[in-house]
Amino acid sequence: MEFFDYFSQLYGERWPALLESLKGEGCATELRFGEGLEPYYLDEASVFAAESLGVLPGDRVLDMCAAPGGKSLVLASRLRGEGSLQSNDRSPDRRIRLSHVLENSLPEQWRSVISVTGYDGVKFGMHKKESYDRILLDAPCSSDRHVLNAPEHLKVWSVKRVKRLAVEQGSLLASAVDALAPGGTLIYSTCALSPMENDDVVKKILKKRPAMRLDEIAEIPAGADRTECGVHILPDHAEGRGPIYCARLVKSGT
C-alpha cells in the first residue's frame, strides 16, 4: 500500500517503531481553567505548539484554522482577558464545535476578548494586512495518525494528495505572513509526517517573503527532533506525544 511504502522509505529503520506508536492512543493532557468549566483534553505536543507562540496579555492574536478549539484555549489562557483573539475556521460545522469549546471551557472574562469568525484563511493577508502581533497557523494537513487508524481514509491516501495539501498550506502561510504585523511572531504547525507539509512549506515562504526569518524554539520536549526549520514531535521518541510539527517565524520590524 502506498502509505506504508512512502513512509517506510522516508523514515527507514525508524518506521516500524514509529508505525506501532502511531497506532497507540496518544498522550493528552487536561486543560481546565476554573470550577464548573468543562475540561478539554489536548495532546501535549499540541499544547507545546500553541505555547511556543509566546502570547502575552494585550497581544492581537489570530488562530487562523482554530477548530476544534484546543489551541485557542491555550492562547486565551495566555491573554487572560487582555488584548484580542480571533479564532477563525471556515467550516460552519467545525465552528459550532469551536464555539462550544470556547464558551464552556473558558472563564467569562477571558471569553470577552475572543471573536469566532468563518473566513477563508487565504484572504487574511489581503484584507487584514499587518493586523496581528501573533498568529497560529495550525494548517489542515494529511493527519497521518488519523488516516492510519481509519481504513476508509487509508485506502485513498496518496502522495499526490500530500503534494496538493502542501500547496494549500503554502497559500495559507503566505496569507498569515502578510497578516502579521512587523515585529510579530508566527507559528506554523501540522500533525503531518512528511517534510513536504512541514519544512518544505516553511522553506518556500522564507524565499518568497524576505522579511521573515526563523526563530529557534530553545526548549523542546524530551524526545522531540529538531529539523532544518523547526521541531517535529513524534510518538515513538516522545512517549506517545504527537505527531506535531511546528516552526516559529518572526517578521522584521519597520
Place of cell 497521518: 144
| β pairing state of 84-88 and 114-117 | parallel
Catalytic site includes residue 246: no
- Choose, from 65, 191, 229, 246, the residue flagged as catalytic: 191
Contacts of 49 (CB under 8 A, 6+ apart): 71, 136, 138, 187, 189, 244, 246
Name the burial class of residue 132, with classes exposed (0-12), middle (13-18) and buried (19+) by CB atoms within 10 angstroms of its CB. Answer: buried
Q: 153 — phi, psi (to 5°)?
A: -80, -35
CA atoms within 13 A on the CB side of 176: 33
Instruction: Please give the helix or strand (H or E) that residue 102 lies within, else none.
Output: helix 92-105
| 179 phi and psi angles, rounded to 5 deg | -85, -10
Task: Using alpha carbons, select from 218, 239, 7, 240 the residue that is nearest to residue 231.
Answer: 218
- Nearest residue to 187 (alpha-carbon basis) of 67, 75, 28, 32: 75
The full 3-state SS of 35-88, as one line of letters, equals CCCCCEEEEHHHHHHHHCCCCCCCCEEEECCCCCCHHHHHHHHHHCCCCEEEEE
Residues catalogued as catalytic? 191
